[in-house]
Every structure is written in C-alpha cells, then in structure tokens.
Amino acid sequence: MAIKVPDVLASFGVDLGPLLAAEGVAEDVFSDPDHALPFVTFCGLISRCAAAVARDDFGLLVCEAASASNLGLVGFLLQQAPDVRTALTDLVGYLHHHDRGAAPFLVVEHGTACLGYAIHEPHLPATAQIHDGALATALNIMRALCGAQWTLLEVTLTRPRPASPARYERFFDAPVTFGSDRDALYFPESCLATPIPRADPALRRMLEEQVELLEREEVDNVSEQTRRLLRAALLTSLGSLDEICRMLGMSRRTFARRLTAEGTTFKRIADEVRFDLARHLLGSTAMSATEIGAIVRFSEASAFSRAFKGWSGMTPREWRLRYARSSGGMAAG
C-alpha cells in the first residue's frame, strides 16, 4: 500500500515531507517494497495523509493500481505458483514477512471462496483505509492471476458507510456491504483451480528458498506464530487448540511446553486475540454485542459481556460509547 502514497499526495498538491516528519519517518521509506516500516507508524502516517487530502477513500486511491509485486518477496513468490489456490496459500502463509500488522485468510465454504484481511490491533488509526487498500490490492492480484474469467461475487467491509459508497461498487464492480464482520472478497471456489500460465517453476524454487530462510529465522517464536494463526482463524471455522497444534506441526504437550518457555499460554493468547477482534468490531461496525460475541466464540451474550469486562474493565456497551466519544464517532477512519 505504501509505495503509491507519494504519487497520490502529489496529485492533490500535498507535500509529503511534513507528514513523514510528524511520524518520524525517513523520506526514502517508499523506495523499497521490502522496507520494514512499523505498522503502528504506518497507521499514523496513513491517517495523516487521509486527513491532508480530505478523502475517506484514501486507501482505494493509493491501491487502485497495486499489484502482487508491491508485496516484495512474497508477491513475487505467489506470481510463480502453479495455480491460484497455491498462490493464495502462499499469500496467507507468508505475508507476515512483508506485513506484520495484519493477517490474510482464505476460507472455502459451499462452493464460495472468501479471501480476507484482518488487522491485529483494531484501535490503531486509519484501519478503514488500510483494509480498503488491502482489498483493492487483493482484487488486482486476483484479476491478474485469473484473467477475464474471474468473477467477484461480493465485497464485505467492516468500515462504516463512506461518503461515496458508489465509488466502491464502481471500483470493485460488485455489491459492497459496509459494517460487516470481516473485510473480504467472495468469489466462486472454481477460480482456485485456475492455472497460472506464466509461472516459472525454476524461479519459484529459488524464491521458496529465500522464504524458507525467513521462516527459519522466526520458527522459535511459537507464541507469535500462534497469535498470527488465531487472528485469521477467528474469522473462519478454525481456531481450536488441536487445529493450531496441527498447523504448527506440534503435539499439544510440546506446544504447551514451548508457550510456557515463552511466558504465556494458549488461553492467554486466545483471549488477547479475541479481545482485539471484539474491539475492532465494536468500534468500526454497528453489530450488536450478541453478534460480536458469537464471532469471537462465545455461546451466550452474558458470557461475552463478562469476559470483555474482565479484559477491559468495561462492558461492550461502555467501551463502544467511550470509543465513539474519543474517536469522533465510529465513522472515523
């Protein structure tokens, strides 16, 4: 998303320099797609940029022409996949090397595929813009991988309804629902079998070796891997202890021992992730506490309310009211 920020600001006659300085960011930050800009800093910068141009669709403006190549090594890897399913598996499995602040996810149910993006810390500024930009990038990637036969069925966004909703439907060329429980694109499952004719197997092997080196560097941090998997899993039908162990290739005993060594437990991590997602949905959607409780895996609204109060010291309703006052309303991006 970041690469095109200077061009968009320039088209509005806005000087990027003071905005970068305000966030303590170097002026050459956008020259390399693999540059590691902290996600918190990135959110602050995007918030300033959106305010400077007075556009609540800034994320679309920045990413309307984004492609897989803007995702650095991971983007190049998925372009060399043999088919779309493999490419999206690469995206879901490895995007954390490029983007530490969010997790993509892929769910297939009843003949429909759902490709989504979930920010880890929903209280950060500009999450609406970043979700918009992520889905715009995903749209362009899917069009490039699948070609003219690809059909987008629906788009869902957690953000409040923007000033110009028609702009979103024109861009995505599909029905768009705002205030949803997830930020995602929906399309026919059959598209996943689409072969990628220009993929180079030899180049893919070379890129896989580079990604494997990155994976080895962080294999010891089991708690962070667990957080990343759970953040995506909560928006799917997955997320149990056994499923996380399976995805990490560990027994329950080994998994528990590794987390203990890192000073945490599965329950503690799961509660942190559920709290983050609940805050995001309370702050950015009009969904009821009962609906949100169900999404974060509580069978009863009263149980969710008790848990949320334990996490935050406030009931969901109290937290939503305070969030709305502090942010100027849930429509704040």
Phi, psi of 79 (to 5 degrees): -70, -15
- Residue 325 has what pLDDT? 44
**Which residues are 102's β-sheet partners?**
119
H or E stretch including 324?
Answer: helix 316-327
- Residue 19 has what pLDDT? 92
Q: pTM higher than 0.85 for the full model?
A: no
Instruction: State the helix-helix crossing angle for 127-146 and 84-94, rounded to 10 degrees.
Output: 150
Class of domain 219-327: mainly alpha
Number of helices (H) and strands (E) in the chain: give both, helices first: 16, 5
Place of tokens 């880890």: 120
Instruction: Give the integer Cα–Cα distance in Å for 211 and 193.
Output: 24
CB 115 within 8 A of CB 106: yes
- Residue 237 has what pLDDT? 56
With H, G, I as helix, E, B as strand and everything else as coil, classify residue 179: coil
Place of tokens 């970041």: 2
Ranges of CATH 1.10.10.60 domains, the chain: 219-327
CB 145 within 8 A of CB 192: no
CB 316 within 8 A of CB 278: yes
* Tens place of pLDDT per residue across the chain (333 aa): 667 888 999 999 999 999 999 988 877 777 655 566 788 888 999 999 999 999 999 999 999 989 998 888 899 999 999 999 999 999 988 888 888 788 889 989 899 999 999 887 767 888 899 999 999 999 999 999 998 778 999 999 999 999 999 999 999 999 999 999 899 999 999 999 999 988 999 999 999 998 888 777 666 678 877 877 777 677 665 567 887 887 777 888 988 988 998 899 999 988 988 898 888 888 877 788 898 888 888 888 899 999 999 999 999 999 988 875 444 333 333
Single out the residue of 201, 95, 113, 110 nearest to residue 150, CA to CA: 113
